[in-house]
Chains A and B, each alone.
Chain A
Amino acid sequence: MWIDARARIAFDDQGRMTAIEQDWLFDEMFGAYTTQGLEKGPDGSLPAKTLQGMAKDWMQALGEPISHYFTQASVNGKPVKFAEPRDAVVSWDTKSQRLTLSFTLPLAQPMAPDKQGVQFDIYDPTYFVAYDFGAPGAVSLIDAPKSCQQSYRPPRELDWQTMQKLAAIPAEAETVPDELLAITKGLTHRIQVSCE
């Protein structure tokens, strides 16, 4: 399935990063599958209760440690802790026939990014969901100090040469050469936020 995603990194009035807010716009086929058989209004709308139920179910499932909202954060490779998510809302656009899930994932502790910055990685570990942050302005900062900036890097495409190198490693090898490890680690959508 496919998600057109947007992410906003929110700051407080002391210039500290507090949360990542995301909108996930699901593809139309997923919308058709998920809303099949549901009671719809004459205009094709879905009852608020149905949408709330969807939001609850999804957030609960996404909250499993193995998924963790498909979102990780780290500073210099060390994981940053999140608090419980809030403001989870599902909406259904009757015209485009697409569902959107919006939610806010607060950091456990607000933090001021330094020069090295903070990295957010967004991906589905099963790779069943493909994200697209390609829309203009899909990644943005809210109320960030002027010295802060963000950059976005899509997952790397593996070329055939790299694939062959990967495949040539014997199955029993537990460790992978460093440069290849870096490539496999580059398979997430990465948002980097750093401040001078």
Chain B
Amino acid sequence: MRKPYVVALTWALLLWLPPLAGWAQGAHPFGVPESGGGVAGPDWLSGLFAQISAWQSHFYRQLTSAVRAWQADGTAAWGLLGLSFAYGVFHALGPGHGKAVIASYVLANRQTARNGALLALLAALLQALVAITLVAIMAWLLHATAPEMNRATRWLETASYALITLLGAWLVWSKALRPWLRRPGDHHVHDAEQGHAHRSAHDDHSHHETHDHREVEGQPSHARLSIDAERASHVIPIHNAHHHHDDCGCGHVHVPSPDQVAGALDWRKAMSAIFAMGLRPCSGALIVLVFALSQDFFAAGIAAALAMGLGTGLTVAALAVFAVVAAGAATRVGAYASAVWMTRVRVGIEVAAAVFVLLLGVLLLGGQVSGGG
């Protein structure tokens, strides 16, 4: 049973590598809305990306003839749709920040796999719609040039990065800082409360608490957080009975058990994640749209962009589901040690995901502002 967990964790790590490795910014030499600057990172990773790009190019190369085939024969749409879908899949597998943002958001908020998949699909749909709208307005109505369209794309990109930064800041605040700041107070009450909830809870508890202090010396915030989480996990049943909410202000990290996680999505919050990923159109979609327009067959471009979006969306959805499963697996691995460790791992994942989104946003935005071009 252990081995699948290890595999799942390894892949979960891989999911976060691409954006970190590929964040180097700068315009591509040929003036296409694609960031250049090379993929930093270990050799095997650039090898992996090279192969993914090779497959992507393989589908890209056939897009022109597929557009023409459809134009010549009104029923031959499937070729273009299939190629665009495949292009979208490989686009999602290559370096890019979108999937990391969605997956981290899902982890930080303890979303269900279903919600994660839904978020990913909606973000990819938005991405396709942004590309279609951008080309319709700039190329079709305004007859913009390539540099003008690149500038517009860059603005959208900057907005997307700014949103990621804001989203990250909000996640860090609500997942790490706020719970930590609200912490002082209540502990005696909790200790008293948890007394009857667990058989040997007290012994276990104090043991882990001392252990904790030794281990994380110099990192008081983490130590406190884990202890809080641990307390919270003990007292959940009681709190539940009182119908407390996230912002009940009772001074601890509120960690609901999996069955308590809401099945419905909080749209107000989810929209920020969807826009953060979906605002920046992918260059492949822009290029096929402009090409279709030049062939007086814009409809084919719209269909191709949507098919690309579906390919990207389903791939990111799969990765998001994977992230949820991997986090669940990690939590269970923690559970082998103790219930305390289970919560500790859980909170650790959420905080790490929140910090990651903020870090990614800052890096991307910083690169954008200083990178010029």
Binding site for B on A (CB under 8 A): 1-2, 26-30, 32-38, 57-58, 61-62, 64, 66-67, 97, 125-130, 155, 157-158, 163, 166-169, 171, 173-174, 176, 180-181, 183-185, 187
Contact = CB atoms under 8 A, between A and B. Distances in A.
Contacts of A129: 30
A36 B139 contact: yes
Given A27-B64, A29-B63, A126-B39, A157 B30 contact: no
A2 B60 contact: yes
Nearest to A127: B53
A1 to B, nearest CB: 7
A37 to B, nearest CB: 4
A66 B38 contact: yes
B290 A127 contact: no
Interface stretch (B141-149, B222-230, B257-265): B141-149
Interface in B35-51: 35-39, 42-44, 46-51
Contact of A1 (B30, B46, B295): B30
Contact of A157 (B38, B46, B51, B145): B51
- Residue from the set B28, B58, B148 with the largest chain A CB neighbour count within 10 Å: B28
B50 A187 contact: yes
B294 A36 contact: yes
Given A27-B64, A29-B287, A126-B35, 10 more contacts: A33-B291, A34-B32, A36-B146, A36-B293, A127-B49, A128-B32, A155-B50, A168-B10, A169-B44, A171-B17
30 contacts: A2-B60, A2-B61, A27-B61, A29-B287, A30-B287, A32-B287, A32-B295, A33-B290, A33-B291, A34-B31, A34-B146, A37-B139, A58-B29, A66-B26, A66-B36, A66-B38, A125-B39, A126-B36, A127-B53, A128-B32, A128-B53, A129-B30, A130-B61, A155-B50, A157-B54, A163-B48, A166-B47, A167-B48, A181-B43, A187-B47
Contacts of A64: 26, 29
B interface, by DSSP: helix, strand, loop or mixed? helix
B197 interface: no
Interface of B: 10, 13-14, 17, 26-32, 34-39, 42-44, 46-51, 53-54, 57-58, 60-61, 63-64, 139, 142-146, 148-149, 286-288, 290-291, 293-295
